[in-house]
Amino acid sequence: MGGYDQTLEPFLWRAETIYPDREVVARTHEGINRYTYAEYADRTRQLANALDGFGIGEGDRVGTFCWNHDRHFETYFGVPNMGAQLHTINPLLPDKHIQHIVEDASDRLIFLDPSLAEKLGSASDPDAFESVEQFVVVGSTVPDVSLEPLTDYESFVSDQSTEYDWPELSEDDMAGMCYTSGTTGKPKGVEYTQQMMWSHTMAMLTPQALGIEDSDVVMPVVPMFHVNAWGMPFTATAAGAKQVFPGPAPEPADLASLIEEEGVTITAGVPTVWLGLLEYMKENEVDLSSLEQIVIGGAAAPKAVIEQYDEFGVDVIHAWGMTETSPVGTVSRLTPALTDAAFDTKVDKWGKQGLIMPGIEFKVVDDDGSEIPHDGEAFGELLVRGPWVTTEYYERPHANETDFDGSWLRTGDIVTVDDDGYIEIVDRAEDVIKSGGEWISSQELENAIMAHEDVSEAAVIGVDHDRWQERPVAMIVVADDVDREMLTDELKTMLQEEYPKWWLPDGFEFIDEIPKTATGKFSKMDLREQYEGKELLEEDAPADAAPEDD
């Protein structure tokens, strides 16, 4: 047929050609680095020459173990443009997962930050990392760690020529790779083709998604080691925007000063980052006047955060995604019919995970595989498919059988869809409670219980039940001086007002703490294991635990 493939290289070419003087700024281990797209593009070609000289070629995997900075960004185009595959590794994972990931992906070379060298070293027992032929420290000092052979980035790159003929690649060539965080088992590898990254970038550029323009100043706080910082470095390059990278473990004070000094207009990260900045702003004067949008994702954006930033004139753009979806799948923007709606209605919509991005499709199905009505009430599992949604995991045939339905990815997220098309996550598939053939959202009950001032933490889990399959039990953490009996009565009354009778927990257990995962989320898997086989249901629990009895 002949034709033109969808690859990343034209984005870099355009930025260098049209915006040679636009800046790339990074907070690094050694201070602020600043250069232009013209210089950046030269650096990517020097990097390609260095990798080429080392013997890295098309199809080889190159790992990174780095924070968000200019050198890491150089690998973002330098590695995929030469036909190799960029494998970003998450340093926050447990050692055994890091070991598994590097071995599973057979990385040949790894770039690592000096401050993360010890972590990578400790993840490597004597037989681990056999595939890795070279470690390259991205900094001027080479730390004393057991990783060998070890060199530093500038020695590796800076003497190389700035000329490099990028090969003509196919859009099916592998460009990127990232592993899921493995909450329910070993991390699973997701590979991104050139075409997946190209189409995700183009969709992210649309006003329905981030709508980034050349006049924007873009600062991804979301780590570049996890799902390409939500693709922002690619999208910003495609737009010709100025880029700002916040560097190793940025604190709220670092973010505030970068926003002020560099004139950041759009930034992105998980909710805790933006809660942290709000806290910091209570004690410190921060000028947010340049900032127009904060993209929040990875976990639900609390409505209070959306409202507080709105007071500063900053729009919170709530987005949902997964490693498997490159990663952005939905964005909560208002449709024209809602632009004049009451503020509360708008906040309600912004608080949802949002509308499906142009280019991908979704459906929501119940246990029998039937599609649920879009009424904002019924819920089921979200399935998605599209150009930047993966259709398989790397060398995981078992997961490929269970997590995909043909071209559809089973997201494991349980959602509602309202009549305006806004998707809202109500639970994870493994946590939703199935009672009498209907589903109860454990997250909703938890949030309702945690709204009581005496409750510090609460998790709701499903417990096996002869008649109803499963029934909800609330596991609650309170201070020592709280009267538990009185609290239980109050919670029952409170929940009764808001929820149908069959949703009410059949047991209220008071426990010392709720087990957490490595990333600080409640680990209901551990909680369920701890309480397996224990008698948790109250004897006089209601017999009407299904909707038809309500």
Number of Cβ within a 10 Å radius of residue 342: 9
Binding segment for ligand ADP (CB under 6 A), chosen from 210-218, 314-322, 399-407, 489-497, is 314-322
Phi, psi of 216 (to 5 degrees): -75, 155
Quick one: how far is CA 113 from the chain centroid?
21
Count the site residues for ligand ADP by CB under 6 A. 18
d(CA 92, CA 170) in angstroms, rounded, equals: 33
Spot the catalytic one: 28, 180, 390, 411: 180
Find the binding residues for ligand ADP in span 323-382 (CB under 6 A): 323, 353
Annotation marks residue 439 as catalytic:
yes
Residue 86 in contact with ligand ADP, rule: CB under 6 A: no
Strand partners, 31: 28
d(CA 246, CA 262) in angstroms, rounded, equals: 11
**Helical spans, DSSP H, in 206-302:** 227-230, 232-239, 252-262, 271-283
d(CA 16, CA 18) in angstroms, rounded, equals: 6
**Cα torsion for 228, 229, 233, 234, to the nearest 10°?**
40
Residue 399 in contact with ligand ADP, rule: CB under 6 A: no
Annotation marks residue 28 as catalytic:
no
Site string for ligand ADP, 16-35 (x = CB under 6 A): --------------------
Considering only 411, 416, 441, 442, the residue that binds ligand ADP (CB under 6 A) is 411
Annotation marks residue 468 as catalytic:
no
Residue 228 in contact with ligand ADP, rule: CB under 6 A: no
Annotation marks residue 180 as catalytic:
yes
Cβ atoms of residues 445 and 495 within 8 Å = yes
Q: Which of 319, 219, 331, 192 is nearest to 277 (CA)?
A: 219
Spot the catalytic one: 191, 324, 446, 470: 324
Residue 138 in contact with ligand ADP, rule: CB under 6 A: no
Shortest distance (Å) from residue 113 CB to ligand ADP: 21
Residue 99 in contact with ligand ADP, rule: CB under 6 A: no
d(CA 16, CA 10) in angstroms, rounded, equals: 10
Binding segment for ligand ADP (CB under 6 A), chosen from 16-24, 109-117, 316-324, 471-479, is 316-324
Distances in Å between the alpha carbon of 189 and those of 8, 149, 213, 224, 479? 21, 26, 32, 16, 42
Cβ atoms of residues 187 and 97 within 8 Å = yes
Shortest distance (Å) from residue 235 CB to ligand ADP: 17
Shortest distance (Å) from residue 464 CB to ligand ADP: 24
Residue 93 in contact with ligand ADP, rule: CB under 6 A: no
d(CA 309, CA 302) in angstroms, rounded, equals: 11
Shortest distance (Å) from residue 170 CB to ligand ADP: 27
Shortest distance (Å) from residue 534 CB to ligand ADP: 28
Q: Which lies closer to ligand ADP via its Cβ, residue 7 or residue 390?
A: 390
Residue 446 in contact with ligand ADP, rule: CB under 6 A: no
**Cα torsion for 134, 139, 144, 148, to the nearest 10°?**
0
Binding segment for ligand ADP (CB under 6 A), chosen from 192-200, 292-300, 359-367, 505-513, is 292-300
Site string for ligand ADP, 176-215 (x = CB under 6 A): ----xx-x--------------------------------
Catalytically active residues are 180, 324, 434, 439
Residues that bind ligand ADP (CB under 6 A): 180-181, 183, 297-300, 318, 320-323, 353, 411-413, 425, 428
